[in-house]
Amino acid sequence: MRLYSLRMTHEDFMRRAIDLAYLGQGLVSPNPMVGAVLVHQGSILGEGFHAGYGQVHAEVAALQTVSDAQRGLIPESTLYVSLEPCAHQGKQPPCANRIVAERIKKVVIATLDPYKEVQGRGLEILQQAGVAVEVGCMEQEARWLARRFFTVQERSRPYIILKWAQSAEGYFAPLSNARKQLSNAFSMELLHQWRRQEAAIMVGYKTALIDNPKLTNRSGSGLQPLRIVLDRTLALATTHHLMQDDAATWIINAKKEQPGLKYFKQADFGDKLLPNLLQDLKHHGHNSLIVEGGAQLLQAFIDGGLWDEARVIHTPVTLGKGLAAPLLKDAELMAQEHLDTDLLHVYQPSDRLISFVPGMRL
């Protein structure tokens, strides 16, 4: 049993649940990250998080950590959970039913689940069984935590992150098309952490041709994102890194379809290309996408209103002349962070801001 002051608040225990949830980052897609904490008279009996897709949910994980000697305290305890307990049979049985079976007296839920198989049904199961329920504790932090999942449910497409670095003059790259590293080592290390967190990563043809990127997560932990490259005429050489089997790859083109989906044919390379691609990603269970370039592709996402977060790294590097960086429209700066000599700005669209509380994680 972990002892805490009796003056600990709902928010303190919910914050612990949210912190635990982040331990599943990059491992649970297309499920949301969820954390849970079971508390008896100011002391934590058990805590857990959803650690991987198909594995037990956070509520069950928390119950499994309760010692045999303390299981008798469960009915007199309060469960804090960052997302409404599920009410349907999926890869795991309904958590709401398990909570009722354990006779837990109270459940504090940060935010309700928008998934069509839940949408208040978990709450209803608990209330009908006589469980006291409180909803809304640290709701904004919980929605931010599960923003990828919420976007798929509410906007019917993956959560889209745009990322680029730009020079001190606002240039994206040299005019010569030569490969030029703008961001520093701290920013590059952070980039690999971001790749670990997302389900898919995308670049355009010119970026793949000039930079020859691997687009892999080299942070040392986590899964590899699905790599996506636009190559309409299949012009990239087979020696390019993206053609190797370091990670699953979609080559979006107008010529060829292949079982296993390495070559993914799109008939329309016009205005419907990106919306169609996003629907394909959703259909295959990829709930987030980070777009790393080039400037034209990034601008296409911006112009189409197809973005939820933009991470722009401002560097002190000067190019003299260069290709202009993408131009955000109707964007609000929500956070900034110094990365040694670089400065990270994080933006959201003005029309759908998620309240960002200082200390919240990307």
Please list the active-site residues.
59
DSSP type of residue 138: T
Q: How many angstroms from the chain centroid is the CA of residue 179?
A: 29
| Residue 202 parent element (H or E) | strand 200-203
Instruction: Identify the three-state secondary structure at position 348.
Output: strand
User: How many residues appear in the chain?
Assistant: 362
Lookup result for tokens 């008939």: 267
Q: Which residues share a beta bridge with 37?
A: 47, 80
Task: Quote the CA–CA distance of 357 and 362 in Å, as a whole number.
Answer: 11
> Nearest Cα to 93, choosing from 131, 56, 53?
56
How many CB atoms neighbour CB 351 within 10 A? 8
Please, which residues have CB within 8 angstroms of residue 15's CB and are 6 or more apart in sequence? 138, 141
Task: Quote the CA–CA distance of 273 and 258 in Å, as a whole number.
Answer: 19
Rounded to 5°, angle at Cα 162 from 165 and 182: 10
Please count the helices (runs of H) and the strands (runs of E) in the chain. Answer: 10, 17
Q: Please list the alpha-helical segments (H only) found in 94-184.
A: 95-101, 121-128, 139-145, 147-155
Task: Quote the CA–CA distance of 207 and 192 in Å, as a whole number.
Answer: 18
| Residue 214 parent element (H or E) | none
Lookup result for tokens 């400065």: 343
